[in-house]
Amino acid sequence: MTADEGGLPDIRRDVPTAIHVQISEHIRLRIASGEWPAHYRLKSEPELAQEFGVSRGTVRRALATLIEEGLLRQVRGRGTFVTSTVIEPAIAQKLSTLSEDFASQGVVTSTEVRECSLITPPRPVAALLDLASGDTRVLRLVRVRSTTEGPVALLFNFVRTDLAPGIEQADFAGSSLFGVLEGSYGLKIATARRTFSAEAASPDVAEALALAPGSPVQYLQQVTYLADGRPVEYSDVWIHSGRLRVTSLLLRR
């Protein structure tokens, strides 16, 4: 069987390239071609050893190289999987924030605070925050979160300042919004409604995410509630789908 037919290639013992290097290169090509997509589970080490006609130790050495490169990852008790090239936060499944999810996945991000000021909220935002329009000011926080790949999300948050007076003085480059609300103000964030849709990037959104205007972007709208039922925060979040995919691991029952 040749590689063209989807099988495993012969390992060549008449070339100076070490066998484990040939195997890791073979797997690298399978991943690069998309034939082994993100989340594909490789066969077990004994099965791979048999198919390649090599020892299990040689297979293990080839896999170790690819794990170190970040192309594969091993999950205890489940096997070896092809790594996703995009960040996959579980923000549709858990009320964690992007920054919390990044931290738990070991993704290093930076935050640029573009605006942190008190404003009169737009009427629909005032309504969802249970504020009489016209007479209350809210914090408007605009941030861009980036990884080493570039910007991944543009976040607009509107926060009730009657519940968090002085919040406009917090350092949002270094601390998260939920962290400040829970840590500095002792607020009990309890629930949120999040809706997800695909939208065309406005010029402003496109600029912030380094996309062409009109590009499809993942839009997330959120209203966050305290334990006593009062809404505390509304947000519009624009996500670069090429760098971040909202992912849920779900159970049937």
Binding site for a copy of itself (CB under 8 A): 5-6, 34-37, 39-41, 88, 92-95, 123-124, 126-128, 130, 132-134, 189-200, 214-219, 223, 239, 241, 245-252
Residues paired with residue 63 on neighbouring β-strands, in sequence order: none
Whose tokens are 């989340």? That residue is: 39
Q: How far is the CB of 110 from a copy of itself (least distance, A)?
A: 23
Residues paired with residue 219 on neighbouring β-strands, in sequence order: 197, 238
Main-chain phi, psi angles of 69, to 5 degrees: -75, -10
Minimum CB distance to a copy of itself smaller for 14 or for 78: 78
Return the DSSP state at 87: B
Minimum CB distance to a copy of itself smaller for 190 or for 210: 190
Minimum CB distance to a copy of itself smaller for 113 or for 225: 225
* Tokens, residue 105: 């996945």
Residues paired with residue 24 on neighbouring β-strands, in sequence order: none
Minimum CB distance to a copy of itself smaller for 23 or for 131: 131
Q: How far is the CB of 57 from a copy of itself (least distance, A)?
A: 25
Minimum CB distance to a copy of itself smaller for 21 or for 92: 92
Q: How far is the CB of 129 from a copy of itself (least distance, A)?
A: 10
Q: How far is the CB of 226 from a copy of itself (least distance, A)?
A: 10
Using CA of residue 126, residue 129, residue 132, residue 137, what is the dihedral sign?
negative
Q: How far is the CB of 16 from a copy of itself (least distance, A)?
A: 31
Quick one: 179 exposed, middle or buried, by C-beta within 10 A (0-12, 13-18, 19+)? middle
State the number of CA atoms in the 13 A half-sphere of 142 facing the CB. Answer: 8
* Tokens, residue 106: 């070991």
